[in-house]
A and B are shown apart, each in its own frame.
Chain A
């Protein structure tokens, strides 16, 4: 795909298609962030472990799961 094709692709996009791409990109960035949070909680609980470890790890994984579910829903319904 050369530059002309890429330019044609973007100029042929409708306004709502562009919004959809923006939303999907934002959700993808959020998934990356949620993944980092899962790793961060894992590292934090290794450094200081307490009774709350399981609870905090569960929340971080649920947050990642929720972000993936929202991205999938956005792909299907937007």
Chain B
């Protein structure tokens, strides 16, 4: 009697040794977990926007930090009593702290996570809206990397679009470092 055929359990491969993970990626992080992570799910890497994408708000923050030095030249502020000048000064820095903190949070928590089972895209828009999209690795049909413009080419960052089978929407990672290597890794993993 022939043995019952048992299909080998499909195990998702780890990224191969030949494809070295880019240093700008948070590769195999130990202390990061996400809400829907399963017990047997291992995070291979975490994708965040390239640090250069933060340059705009960092420069704005530095310039805005020094604006109060020029308050004495604003006639509206110059005529205020001293206690109101102090309030304007404190209010300015409260708004600046809020601006910088919000921008940092937006960068830090908008992540893409690649595990041994799936690809997860976590997006927070503003203060009150979050979106978590995931796709299993074996459902990935196509991985496209796009790098448009001089800045993206110089600093080597771009977008990755992961097209999945079925009705699920596609997953997009925006402005992530080393998009070609990440695309190659995703193609290996699927």
Residues on the B chain within 8 Å of A40, using CB: 105, 124, 127-128
Say yes or no: A47 contacts B34, CB within 8 Å. yes
Question: In this assembly, does A30 line the interface, its C-beta being within 8 Å of a C-beta of chain B?
Answer: yes
Residue of A nearest to B29 (CB): A50
- In the complex, which range does the number of interface residues on chain A fall in? 20 to 34
A63 / chain B contacts, CB cutoff of 8 Å: 97-98, 101
Interface residues on B, range: 20 to 34
Do residues B84 and A46 form an inter-chain contact, with CB atoms below 8 A? Answer: no
Given A30-B98, A40-B127, 17 other A-B residues pairs in contact with their CB atoms under 8 A? A16-B81, A26-B91, A30-B91, A30-B94, A37-B98, A37-B127, A40-B105, A47-B132, A48-B34, A48-B35, A48-B122, A63-B97, A67-B94, A74-B87, A77-B83, A78-B83, A78-B84
Residues of A whose CB lies within 8 Å of any CB of B are: 16, 19, 23, 26-27, 30, 33-34, 36-37, 40-41, 43-44, 46-52, 56, 59-60, 63, 66-67, 70, 74, 77-78
